[in-house]
Structure 1
C-alpha cells in the first residue's frame, strides 16, 4: 500500500503512523505542499494522512484549496483518510462543514472521552496532546468519536474509512519535544490547559496512544 502524507510544518511529523506503516511494509511518501507546492495524485494514493499545522482551512491559499480537491477525489474513491488537527479540519471542510473558533484554546495534555464504539477496544478515556484553537463541525452522517472537557467536537468517523481528529495521538516522545521546543510561545498565549512547553515535554507520551492509533489505522484500512 502506498501511503501519502501531507506535512504542513517541519515540527509536526507522522510519528507512530510511520511506525505502523513500516511494520506493514507500506510505501511511505511525505509531501510538503506549503513549501514545495506539490501534492500526490489520487491515483497514486492508497491512503492519505493529513497532518497538523498553524494554518487554518479558512485561509485563502491555493495549496490549501488544492488539498481539498485531492481529499474530495479520495472520498469519492472510498480510500482511507486520516487527519489530525488541521488535517481533520480539512476533511470536515471538504465535506462542506465549517471550521470555527473553539470555545477554548487547548494546548497540552488533557483527557478525551470515547463517544462511539464502532472501532472496538478503544479505552473510554485517553490522554491526548492538544495544540489548537479552532475546531470542526461534525459532518452529517459522521459519528462523533471523541470529546474533551472543553471542546465537544474532538473526533469523527465518516463511513468506515475516514477519521478526523482535532487532537494528536500520533506523536512519540521525540515528536512532542520537537513540537514544544519549536512552538514554545504558543502554549503561553491564553491557553485554557495552563501548561508550558516544558511541562508538556515532561509529561511523556501515554503508551496506549500508539496502540489506539494503530487500531484506528487498522480499522480504516480494513486490517482488522
Structure 2
C-alpha cells in the first residue's frame, strides 16, 4: 500500500508513522505544503494521512494550497480510501464532514490520559496516556463514533465508515526528538512572555524516551485497524 502524507510545517512531520509503514512493507511520499508543493491526486496514493500544524483550522489562508488540500480531503472522504488526520489534520477532516471546529477552553499541551468512549470501535485500552499538542477542538460529525475524552477535551477523536476515516487530536506518532522540536518551535513563535504558554510546562512535556516508546504499541493497534481495508 502506498500512503501520502500532507505535511504543513517542518517540525510536524510523520514521526513514527513513517517507521511503522516501512516496517510493515508499505511505501510513502510526503507533500510539503509549507514549501508550496501541490497536493497529490487521489490516484497517486492508496491512503492519506493529514499531519498536524501550528496553524488554525479556522484560518482558510495559512498557505498557498489550502483550498486544494480541503478539496482533496473531501474527495477522499467520498472515496473508499483510508483517511487519517492528527491535530490540525483531524480538524480539517472534521470540518469537511460538517462538524464544528472551535478554540478549546484551554490549550492541551503535554501528557495526559484519554478515557476510551463506550462505543469506541478502536482496539485501544480503556485508558491510555498520550501526547497532546492542540488549542482547537472539533465536534462529532454525523454518523461518526467517538474515540475518547480528556478533562480538557470531551472529544479526542472519532472514527467513521468502519474506521476507514480516523480523526485524532492526540499524538501517537511523536518521539522524544520530534516533541522537543515542536516545543522549541512553539516557544520561538509565541515568545517566552506569552501568557497562553508556560515555558516550564513545555519543558515538562518532553521527558524520557521510554515514555514516548510506550506510544508505539498504541500506534500499532490504530494503524493495523485503520489499514485493514
The answer to whether residue 105 in structure 2 is matched with residue 99 in structure 1 is: no
d(CA) in 1 for partners of 2:81 and 2:75?
9
- How do residues 199-218 of structure 1 correspond to structure 2 at under 5 angstroms? 199-204=204-209, 205-218=211-224
Residue pair 1:119, 1:219 contacting (<8 A) in 2 also: yes
Question: 2:165 aligned with 1:162, yes or no?
Answer: yes
Counterpart residue number, 1:219: 225
Q: 1:18 to 1:58 in 2, by over 3 A?
A: same
* Residues 175 and 213, structure 2, Cα contact 8 Å, conserved in 1: no
Counterpart of 1:126? 128
Number of positions where the alignment pairs a residue of Structure 1 with one of Structure 2: 221
1:4: which partner in 2?
4
Equivalent-residue separation in structure 2 for 1:199 and 1:77 (angstroms): 41
Check if 1:111 corresponds to 2:113: yes
Per the alignment, residue 71 of structure 2 pairs with: 69
Tell me if structure 2 keeps the 8 A contact 1:84–1:165.
yes
Show CA shifts across 1:21-64 (max 9, x none).
00122111011113223111011121111111111222122522
Aligned counterpart for 1:198 among listed residues 183, 203, 210:
203
Q: TM-score w.r.t. structure 1 length?
A: 0.91
Q: Which residue of 1 aligns with 2:59?
A: 59
Q: Which digits, 9 at most, give the CA deviation of each residue in 1:156-184, with x for residues without a partner?
A: 01112111011211101211122122223
Q: Does 1:33 align with 2:38?
A: no
Unaligned runs of 5+ in 2: none
- TM-score (norm. length: structure 2): 0.89
RMSD: 2.0
Gaps of 5+ in 1: none
Residue 132 to residue 9, structure 1, CA distance change in 2 (3 Å): same
In 2, Cα distance between the equivalents of 1:75 and 1:45?
14
Flag the 1:146–1:203 CA change in 2: closer, same or farther, 3 A: farther
